[in-house]
């Protein structure tokens, strides 16, 4: 069910290699969560597996990488060295942790579900969009998604009223005019300092809008 192999005759990317090497419970959890309805809606990934095969994020396992980033950057304080190595180290360690702690998968899954559902409820199909370029185009941003998803992971989706959602959108829109935040999602985004900045500021916005 979870065997998604590189069949394009090209060099495997980092996530494809991790998926092949780490065949354990956390890896399976990444696959399961990547098919969550709210997550697929956020990234415009078809839920039907056959249709998904034509989706670039699905084809290149970037959907799995996005789920992995959520968990790894929830614990970014433990990062040392290169970002790509940290993701691999985290994946290996989390697989072992799932074997040692049988309740961790449930806790992780619940956090991710909250983050995805809150993101969709608050932002809808405009989630994770960077400010428009000069030609008016807006692209989805992995670093921006990191910040928003981690920030919203502890919020009960049932508590997010329309009024609170509107307040959250306003505060996150303000972040997109904050030079410090913009730099953290635009330049050196995989550095620990940039990760700390964007997640810290996003968590503060989430607290102010949703938890007060």
Residues 159, 170 contacting (CB under 8 angstroms): no
CA distances from 93 to 107, 132, 150, 187 (A): 16, 38, 20, 28
What pLDDT shows up at residue 10? 59
pLDDT in tens, the chain (212 residues): 334 444 455 578 999 999 999 989 999 999 999 999 999 999 999 999 899 999 999 999 999 999 999 999 999 999 999 999 999 999 999 999 999 999 999 999 999 999 999 999 999 999 999 998 888 889 999 999 999 999 999 999 999 999 999 999 999 999 999 999 999 999 999 999 999 999 999 999 999 999 86
Residues 148, 128 contacting (CB under 8 angstroms): yes
Rounded CA-CA distance 108/111 in Å is: 5
- Share of the chain residues as helix, strand and coil, in percent rounded to the nearest 5: 65, 0, 30
Quickly count: other Cβ atoms within 10 Å of residue 84's Cβ. 12
What pLDDT shows up at residue 4? 47
Rounded CA-CA distance 12/15 in Å is: 8
Give the residue from 140, 169, 124 showing the smallest Cα distance to 57. Answer: 140
Question: Whole-prediction pTM value?
Answer: 0.92
Give the up-direction half-sphere exposure of residue 66: CA atoms within 13 A in the CB hemisphere: 29
Instruction: For CA atoms 187, 141, 33, 3, give the dihedral sign.
Output: negative
């Amino acid at each position: 069910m979870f065997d998604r192999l590189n069949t394009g005759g090209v060099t495997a990317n980092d996530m494809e290699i991790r998926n092949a090497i780490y065949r354990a419970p956390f890896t399976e959890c990444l696959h399961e969560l990547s098919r969550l309805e709210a997550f697929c809606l956020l990234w415009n990934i078809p839920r039907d597996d056959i249709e998904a095969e034509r989706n670039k994020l699905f084809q290149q396992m970037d959907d799995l990488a996005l789920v992995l980033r959520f968990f790894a950057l929830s614990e970014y304080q433990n990062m040392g060295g290169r970002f790509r190595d940290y993701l691999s180290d985290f994946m290996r360690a989390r697989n072992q942790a799932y074997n040692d702690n049988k309740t961790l998968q449930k806790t992780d899954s619940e956090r991710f579900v909250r983050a995805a559902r809150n993101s969709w409820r608050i932002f809808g199909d405009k989630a994770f969009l960077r400010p428009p370029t000069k030609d008016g185009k807006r692209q989805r941003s992995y670093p921006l998604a990191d910040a928003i998803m981690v920030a919203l992971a502890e919020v009960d989706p049932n508590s997010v009223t329309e009024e609170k959602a509107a307040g959250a959108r306003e505060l996150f829109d303000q972040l997109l005019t904050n030079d410090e935040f913009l730099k953290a999602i635009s330049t050196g985004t995989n550095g620990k300092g940039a990760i700390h900045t964007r997640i810290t500021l996003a968590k503060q916005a989430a607290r102010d809008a949703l938890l007060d």
